[in-house]
Chain A
Amino acid sequence: MLKVNNLHAEINGKEILKGINLEVRPGEVHAIMGPNGSGKSTLSMVLAGNPAYTVTGGTAEFYGKDLLAMPPEIRSHEGLFLGFQYPVEIPGVSMVNFMRAAVNAKREYFGQPPMSATDFLKMMREKRAIVELDNKLASRSVNEGFSGGEKKRNEIFQMAVLEPKLSILDETDSGLDIDALRVVAEGVNKLKSDNNATIVITHYQRLLDYIKPEFIHILYKGRIVMTGGPELALELEERGYDWIKQQVDNEENKG
């Protein structure tokens, strides 16, 4: 579903992504790991279409379509979802109005009439249950006054509502205590199917105890420098990133 080829991107004139190659197929779970500043969040922002970043080279195809040519909202309609590392607070816009606008924008894109109020509320109830999100949060402004855990649950709740084909979860585990982590991970697992895929961006192994990826990619200096199976995450947990950094840096020096 997603084919990223030699993707380069920069922000404020600074090149962050220096040739990313990545392929994701339906039913797969990928994890992208890497030290701070390696470009993990940039990759998620570029794939979701943040206009603050400029793509300077390469391609990204989503179900055969040119992902990079689509505005963020079309990427969303086409089935791409980004769970934010830092979910944005939007005072004055209620969660329920926000979600209604989102759901109906997607329906409009596919030529469907807006969802009835009854159906919408019923769906909200069902999806809320997946991440055990408190009903009272739905009437509040988007993410405003939410705790760290509530914000992350809210991301997964939105993912449940939008039913994406590919979800990119950017450090969804950061700032979560172990119970919240379990709830969030279980939510992700409940939404998993043979037809959708997940890219989990994380620093730590612990999320991967709950969400089991088949592929682990190590991002360093804007490139995927190593790809392996689940055993790679365990090795990283034991040995840290230094040995990979050294390996890459040595090769660079040689080159």
Chain B
Amino acid sequence: MGALQQYIDLYKEHKSLVDSGSAGVLNELRPAACEVLGNMELPAKGSENYETTDLEKILSPDYGVNIGRVNIDVNPAATFHCGVPSLSTSLFFSVNDLYAEAADARIGLPEGMYVGSLRQFAITHPEICAKYYGMCADLNNPVVALNTLLAQDGIAVWVKKGVKVEKPIQIVNILQNGAPLMAVRRVLVIMEEDSEIKILTCDHTQNPDVDFLALQTVEIFAEKNSRLDYYDLEESTEKTSRLSAMYIREEEGCELVIDGLTLYNGTTRNEYYSRFEGEHASLHLYGMGIEDKSRHLDTYSRIEHRKGYCNTDELFKYVLDDEAIGAFAGLIKVDKGADKTEAYQNNRNIVGSDTAKMFSKPQLEIYNDDVKCSHGTAIGQLDEMQVFYMRTRGLPEQTAKLLLKQAFMADVIEAVTLPGLKERLHMLVERRFAGGVSSCAVCNSSCSGDTK
């Protein structure tokens, strides 16, 4: 028994403390998660779909876990200033894994929805919470099992039938501590029939010299004809690890946009599991990663077309430099009977140095005849003739390469539907490639909202 044992021990020793810091169904699922973990072996690095990611290594450090729910002296709402101009959002926080919200977070939000603490949701809406929590995340996934074992709070978003939330919800996850810390957060998104919402999450790390692990599980239930745009932006540090598992259920007529944007990180594995359970639904799953130094980004996706007439459009793009490592493994599975499925998967990568590495594994499994599907991957370098052409017009080599890398990401950025975010991303990506300091969302200590 390896890295998992310390977490099992922690739970067993402090079971009542863990439970007292949480509520309802969150506590009810812990024993099952504990049992699964007790029998689990972590997938080894190099095994199927874990080509580059060593979970054992990521989970091994002796991270602190704030099971006692000690409040760190920080009031993010007071100092936080969003650096996305013209992006007016309702602002919520998790500082490590403690919930907080901006003073004016609820202004402009309609009736007929809940957004706030997941723990609170389990107390005030125990039946709704129990109906959904843990119902699509798979306990056999180590990230989910560990998250279920230790998650005490997080964010719940529940949009009732027919409610359309105009103002985007922004959830800022801040990691801030003096000693190594694991933040265990859980996100539950329930979209009832005909509802609509846009969500932007931003991961930030405040202390660049401290090791952090963000352990996240997201469950999204999209009921008939609902629409969700979900942007997940990471701007953390080289010493931050992130293990995220997102589970999505889509019913008939849903339209979902899921976008994973990794601008700065340390070691990240993002997993997406999506399933169509009704016809005429669509999923746009996009992502980009800009990786340099010895950063590591691993994306895994599994999309199941169980019903016909659904569309998937999947596109992930990476630019890797220095000794960075990127991995993409994606599977689109089309079940028997899923007629008129249209599914496209694409992974494109630029490897800018001799020492950076990219591993890509696009996969289609099709058990039905009447479908249109394609998948593809490309790993290449910047086109030398393009660089030369630009240089003959007077652009320095570095500027030419910068423009080409930005151009490479342009289609992912152009696909962003959140007003204000697209423009901001163009700027952030430009600055990122230029080697500048990132500050999307700009937290109190390290960054500020002005453009540096």
Contact = CB atoms under 8 A, between A and B. Distances in A.
A73 B391 contact: yes
Interface in B381-417: 383-386, 388-397, 399, 403-404, 406-408, 410-411
Given A88-B385, A90-B386, A92-B407, A71 B397 contact: yes
Contacts of A103: 394
B388 A72 contact: yes
Given A92-B404, A105-B395, A105-B396, 13 more contacts: A48-B388, A48-B392, A72-B388, A84-B389, A88-B386, A88-B388, A90-B403, A90-B407, A91-B407, A92-B410, A97-B403, A98-B393, A105-B399
Contacts, number: 77
B388 A51 contact: yes
A49 B393 CA distance: 12
B386 A109 contact: no
A1 interface: no
B383 to A, nearest CB: 8
A105 B394 contact: yes
A103 B399 CA distance: 13
Nearest to B388: A50
Contact of B391 (A49, A106, A162): A49
A49 to B, nearest CB: 7
Contacts of A98: 390, 393, 395, 403
Given A73-B394, A77-B394, A92-B408, A52 B399 contact: no
Interface string B402-444: 0110111011000000000000000000000000000000000
A72 B384 contact: no
A90 B404 contact: yes
B400 to A, nearest CB: 8
A75 B394 CA distance: 8
Contacts of B403: 90, 93, 97-98, 101
A109 B394 CA distance: 9
A158 B389 CA distance: 12
Contacts of B407: 90-93, 141
> Which of B390, B406, B411 counts the most chain A CB atoms within 10 A?
B390
B394 A76 contact: yes
B399 A76 contact: no
Given A87-B389, A90-B389, A93-B407, A162 B394 contact: yes
Nearest to B411: A92
A51 B384 CA distance: 9
Contacts of B391: 49, 71-73, 76
> Which of A75, A77, A92, A99 counts the most chain B CB atoms within 10 A?
A92
Q: What 4 A-B pairs come out closest when comparing CB atoms?
A: A92-B407, A72-B391, A88-B389, A76-B394
Nearest to A97: B403
Secondary structure call for the B interface? helix
B389 A101 contact: no
A220 interface: no
> Which of A73, A87, A98, A162 counts the most chain B CB atoms within 10 A?
A73
Contact of A73 (B383, B385, B397): B397
A93 B423 CA distance: 16
Interface residues of B, number: 22
Contacts of B397: 71, 73
B410 to A, nearest CB: 4
A161 to B, nearest CB: 9
Interface string A35-51: 00000000000001111
Interface in A33-84: 48-52, 71-73, 75-77, 81-82, 84
A101 B396 CA distance: 10
Interface in B347-401: 383-386, 388-397, 399
15 contacts: A72-B391, A73-B392, A73-B396, A84-B392, A88-B383, A88-B385, A90-B386, A90-B390, A92-B407, A101-B399, A102-B395, A103-B394, A105-B395, A105-B396, A141-B407
Nearest to A48: B392
Contacts of A76: 391-394
Nearest to A99: B393
Contacts of A49: 391-392
Nearest to B407: A92
> Which of A52, A76, A81, A106 counts the most chain B CB atoms within 10 A?
A76
A201 B388 CA distance: 19
A21 B411 CA distance: 48
A72 B395 CA distance: 9
A210 B403 CA distance: 37
> Which of B385, B391, B395, B406 counts the most chain A CB atoms within 10 A?
B391
B403 to A, nearest CB: 5
Contacts of B386: 88, 90
A90 B394 CA distance: 16
Contacts of A99: 393
Nearest to A87: B389
B394 A106 contact: yes
A73 B399 CA distance: 11
A158 B394 contact: no
B349 to A, nearest CB: 15
Nearest to B385: A88
A52 B386 CA distance: 13
A111 B407 CA distance: 28
A90 B400 CA distance: 11
A102 B393 CA distance: 6
A208 B395 CA distance: 31
Contacts of B408: 92
A133 B384 CA distance: 27
Contacts of B392: 48-49, 72-73, 75-76, 81-82, 84
A76 B397 CA distance: 13
A77 B391 CA distance: 10
